[in-house]
Structure 1
Amino acid sequence: MKRLGLAATAALLLSACSMEAAPDAGSALDIPTVADGTLSEETMKRVTEKLSSDEFEGRSPGTAGEEKTVAYLIEEFQKAGLEPGNNGSWVQKVPLVEITAKDFAPLTISGGDSGPVDLEFAKDWVGVTYREDVATKLDESELVFVGYGINAPEKGWNDYEGLDMAGKTAVILVNDPDFGAETLEGPFGGKAMTYYGRWTYKYEEAGRQGAAGAIIIHDTEPAAYGWNVVESSWSGPQAYAQRGENAAPMTEMNGWVQKAVAERLFTAAGKDLGELSKAAKAKGFKAVPLGLNASTSFRSDIRTFESQNVIGMLPGTERAEEYVLHTAHWDHLGRCTPAPDGDDICNGAVDNATGTAALVALAEAHGKAGPAKRSLVFLAVTAEESGLLGADYYAANPVFPLNKTVGGINMDAFMIAGPSKDVTVVGPGKSQLDAFLEKALETDGRVATPNSKPEAGYYYRSDHFAFAKRGVPMLYVDGGEDLVEGGTEAGAKVAADYTENRYHGPKDEYDPNWNWSGVMADLKLFYRIGRMLGDSTSFPNWNEGDEFKATRDQDCAAQGASCGA
């Protein structure tokens, strides 16, 4: 999932890490002036319309839709003048498993004052298993409220302290303890969500604690999306990375429950969810057994398969062994439920046929301009919607060494809203790439505006995060909300309409009447930034104090280099 209608400022530092020398905090970045590329609006329209057509069946990994998508992208990359990016191949195989749960029994909650309560799948709760088991069963699993479900030794915070979770199910709040803060000050980033607030982390930690199940209480504001998104995303086939022999422990079942349902269950247990949620914000919170048990069962169809990342490149002329990444995910949800008007295809036109089309349009423009000094890489990754799986697989098995990867740009869902005076930077102030963005914006007189909702944690919800957590600086920039026509009010209206009516649903379809002027302005920025990085002699690093800088520095040191030198 990704950012929807946010804006952010970039805190800019000019200290650089050169390829020829150790980092010098006082040195200036080499940000060359570049000419604008020849970017084709017709290419953006054509590729977006094609990829989001019913012919591609929603581009779900491991389906006929994937086969058509990969073949089409290879064809487009070839036409753009790229070379195969994986040692003569256009693709990198990504081993996945598809688990399709079915035959759900109700989630039965017993032990309360009013007797057993049966929760209806999809309406009240959703659940999946990450295990490759044909049958999944929870049998009278004790429910334990573990607050935010965080174990952070570096912060002296452990919501599981003193617990033996074997056979039990963790009931967990969404987001992290700082949610609701007014500033960016706090143990968990204040208003800005940390990775501890993401559902992926919460399920991982419950597994590490030996829990049989993990259920997150959905709440629209801290989750940053409604129950409709949970229902569509967590029903039907689910793709995961195949587990190896040394895989991390995981629960039998991971799921979500509606907040209103959770409130009723807590009341039946003689507890107050609101009061316990407040208590969970304080350091030293002790988990609370609810005196309730959960039981359910379902079966799963299991299919192992290989999906594919598509990789093209334009080799550099002077420093071809240094790489600039351009990333976007080609996948979407495929066929999904519910199906209004009988249409069950989630076409994913905005999310992310637009971003994939941008890869093609940028490759085309760079090809026409000729090679940069560094190699430019165009990476269309799979299975973002399943948890950034394609990007994470590439980052764990890089074709091009990460300590030689200068940085990159991630493109995920271009909002079709017309031109704006600003741009949105997701995760501002993190790396020296911000300086490249600043220079690119100056040309058009545009600005980066304050982030209106950092608590949504969008920085951890798109493909750039797979690279960032391994130390590679990545920019994730979206169109702004201060529209030339209508200002911020109009921008917020466009974003809200998409979130409420199309995001992760069958109505995210191509519209021939779209106004592409704002998209093309943003694409121009991405071209400039990619070209600046491609022709620069600097090797940007994370800013001092950033959580990813140590990883970058350690990786470079292990290679006997300084910041990729």
Structure 2
Amino acid sequence: MTKRFAALGMMLAGALTLAACDAIPGMGGGEAALDIPEIAPGELSEATMKDVTRLLSSDAFEGRMPGTPGEEKTIALLTERFKAAGLQPGNGESWVQEVPLVEITGRNYAPLTITGKGGTQSFAFGKDWVGVTYREEAKTTLKDSELVFVGYGINAPERGWNDYAGLDVKGKTVVILVNDPDWQSEGLEGTFNGKAMTYYGRWTYKYEEAARQGAAGALIVHDTAPASYGWNVVESSWTGPQAYAQRGDNAPPLTQMNGWIQKDAARKVLEAAGQDLDALTKAAQQKGFKPVPLGLTAATSFESTFRSFVSHNVIGILPGSEAPEEYVLHTAHWDHLGRCTPAPDGDDICNGAVDNATGTAALVALAEAHAKAGPPRRSLVFLAVTAEESGLLGATYYAQNPIFPLAQTVGGINMDAFQMAGRAKDVTVVGPGKSQLDLFLDAALKADGRAATPNPKPEAGYYYRSDHFAFAKLGVPMLYIDGGEDLIEGGREAGAKIAADYTENRYHGPKDEFDENWDWSGVMADLQLFFRIGRMMATSSSWPNWNEGDEFKAIRDQSCAASAKGC
């Protein structure tokens, strides 16, 4: 999970204000034409949720890192449970789709040294900075690479914005701010959608653009608020083995090294250049910002070992009774971080119980419930994807190599980390107002007597940070719904406290472990909601689309126009 838990602990004070400025579900056009049937509650098993979550997050699965024995155990368990639930193999006669990956493990890191007229500063790996290479090279050496501050590192011609204007960064290292320029706005109006993050604010984009510009290195300045997670998350996620999709011919260019630098360390670097981080940040938020050469050079080195391997997406299907070639998708990622930075007690297994053994267990529980209810009109697909923690690699591979054509995929629901907070009066909708799937959500919420709370922190860009995004950017309408914030016992204050505790003490760390004392009532209520929505889509005859003006509508329309079947 890449994720929204980190924001919930900070959202309490502004929740009501944000609810007023984010979009509300059901605002899209064409509502009257949609066929949204009523659906009876499903027979959902809390025992299944507990059993599968407990097993997947046990030490025996070693943190479910792709390409390890933990993956083998995960694939075997999911295959067994999908089959027992009543599903059929989703890839012909196979339960899996192969996903070719390469694992790169950095070691023997030298400090990051910054040299200028005033001398040399040295920053320790892990504590002050982290870095990786995407290149399959045994030795990475960044030597005397000129540092340039490039603001938010965005080149967006359609928005009249180019932080690289007039700059040649070949061989240089760019220093980049996290998020996009107007993330601190109160509303959602602005060059980069105001408070709501665009894809230009994501770290993935910033590294890709730096590579396109020819940079040798890219360092993103970590700041907890705009990143929406602390340095502990960066350190645990960017150290140890890193999995990437294997690169084919004519692949895009790569930097030598991509990394993050602590905000305090970045401040010291800029001070050595006679610059102030706060002043540069303010300048970078204005249209027409020009990059700033810093008169400093960066150097570091590290070694890498490589392992090419094949990971797997697990796919089960419940064929439809009348329109089996129309598909409704349920997704969750089965992977986690494997062995990671040890806790004070020496525990180094990131078990990923909440993130995302719970979501993976939900696939099994939903499969059981739908099978018991009998095949709906359309086919239901249950897809457990690999390598989400490495950058949505399994979901992206499936979306680019779909077993079931995307033009024949009605839409889907993504499940990523259920909150163990008890029942809530609401659910949190990440990316509300984007598609007509909101209308299915509205109907399901009404049936359950609950409400929708818009994403409380749109500047975090959560819609671009989990597996549904891989499908959305290729046109498939996708819902991303998280647990509610207004708890029946304790309200929003209690919800924020529980979320903050998870973020600070367990998220992406060794203490995200199964707890026999968890309260599953809220999870099961959310699961019932997902059952209703999936069943509605699978029973309906409608093809919901993205709302007018959404960035994904054009590609969906193009996909539909080219298809003789489906939408």
Matched, 1:257 2:258: no
1:11 to 25, 38, 60: 25
User: Partner of 2:182: helix, strand, or coil?
Assistant: coil
Matched, 1:321 2:325: yes
1:558 Cα deviation after fit: 2.3
Alignment-mate amino acid for residue 456 of structure 2:
S
1:554 Cα deviation after fit: 1.1
Matched, 1:532 2:546: no
Query: In 2, distance between residues paired with 1:406 and 1:450?
Result: 23
**Aligned residue in 1 for 2:138:** 134
**Aligned residue in 1 for 2:206:** 202
Q: Is the 8 A contact 1:14 1:27 kept in 2?
A: no
**Aligned residue in 1 for 2:84:** 79
Alignment-mate amino acid for residue 65 of structure 2:
S
2:392 to 375, 388, 394: 388
Q: Is the 8 A contact 2:28 2:433 kept in 1?
A: no
Q: TM-score w.r.t. structure 2 length?
A: 0.96
The 5-angstrom pairing of residues 300-339 of structure 1 reads 300-339=304-343
Q: Is the 8 A contact 2:109 2:300 kept in 1?
A: yes
**Aligned residue in 2 for 1:21:** none
Q: 1:286 to 1:91 in 2, by over 3 A?
A: same
1:179 Cα deviation after fit: 1.4
Query: In 2, distance between residues paired with 1:91 and 1:501?
Result: 34
Alignment-mate amino acid for residue 72 of structure 1:
L
Q: Give CA deviations for 1:461-495 in whole Å, capped at 9, x if unaligned.
A: 10000000000000000111100000000000011
Q: Give CA deviations for 1:8-33 in whole Å, capped at 9, x if unaligned.
A: 66331464xxxxxxxxx474210001
Moved over 6 A (4+): none
**Aligned residue in 2 for 1:541:** 545
Query: In 2, distance between residues paired with 1:179 and 1:441?
Result: 30
**Aligned residue in 2 for 1:49:** 54
Alignment-mate amino acid for residue 207 of structure 1:
A
**Aligned residue in 2 for 1:18:** none
User: Partner of 1:229: helix, strand, or coil?
Assistant: helix
1:217 Cα deviation after fit: 0.3
Alignment-mate amino acid for residue 351 of structure 2:
N
1:150 Cα deviation after fit: 0.2
Query: In 2, distance between residues paired with 1:354 and 1:465?
Result: 20
User: Partner of 1:141: helix, strand, or coil?
Assistant: strand
**Aligned residue in 2 for 1:476:** 480
2:452 to 448, 451, 457: 448
Q: Give CA deviations for 1:33-59 in whole Å, capped at 9, x if unaligned.
A: 111110000000000000000000000
**Aligned residue in 1 for 2:106:** 101
Query: In 2, distance between residues paired with 1:181 and 1:535?
Result: 41
The 5-angstrom pairing of residues 286-435 of structure 1 reads 286-435=290-439
Q: Is the 8 A contact 1:420 1:483 kept in 2?
A: yes
Q: Is the 8 A contact 1:169 1:212 kept in 2?
A: yes
The farther-off stretch of 70-79 and 25-34 is: 25-34
The 5-angstrom pairing of residues 511-526 of structure 1 reads 511-526=515-530
1:340 Cα deviation after fit: 2.5
Matched, 1:66 2:84: no
Identity %: 74
Q: 1:126 to 1:26 in 2, by over 3 A?
A: closer
Query: In 1, distance between residues paired with 2:43 and 2:493?
Result: 32
2:174 to 170, 173, 180: 170
Q: Is the 8 A contact 1:215 1:254 kept in 2?
A: yes
Alignment-mate amino acid for residue 486 of structure 2:
D
Q: Is the 8 A contact 2:212 2:254 kept in 1?
A: yes
Q: TM-score w.r.t. structure 1 length?
A: 0.97
User: Partner of 2:362: helix, strand, or coil?
Assistant: helix
Alignment-mate amino acid for residue 64 of structure 2:
R
**Aligned residue in 2 for 1:22:** none
Query: In 1, distance between residues paired with 2:153 and 2:562?
Result: 34
Alignment-mate amino acid for residue 493 of structure 2:
E
Q: Is the 8 A contact 2:211 2:255 kept in 1?
A: yes
Alignment-mate amino acid for residue 93 of structure 2:
G
Matched, 1:280 2:294: no
Q: Is the 8 A contact 2:112 2:123 kept in 1?
A: yes
Query: In 1, distance between residues paired with 2:354 and 2:117?
Result: 45
Query: In 2, distance between residues paired with 1:511 and 1:215?
Result: 38
1:112 Cα deviation after fit: 4.3
Alignment-mate amino acid for residue 531 of structure 2:
Y
Query: In 2, distance between residues paired with 1:339 and 1:39?
Result: 35
Matched, 1:239 2:247: no
Q: 1:27 to 1:440 in 2, by over 3 A?
A: closer
Query: In 2, distance between residues paired with 1:45 and 1:488?
Result: 26
Aligned residues: 553
Q: Is the 8 A contact 2:154 2:162 kept in 1?
A: yes
**Aligned residue in 1 for 2:496:** 492
Query: In 1, distance between residues paired with 2:4 and 2:530?
Result: 17
Q: Give CA deviations for 1:104-153 in whole Å, capped at 9, x if unaligned.
A: 0111100142x111110001100000111111010100000000000001
Query: In 1, distance between residues paired with 2:59 and 2:161?
Result: 48
Query: In 1, distance between residues paired with 2:198 and 2:546?
Result: 17
Q: Is the 8 A contact 2:319 2:380 kept in 1?
A: yes
1:451 Cα deviation after fit: 2.7
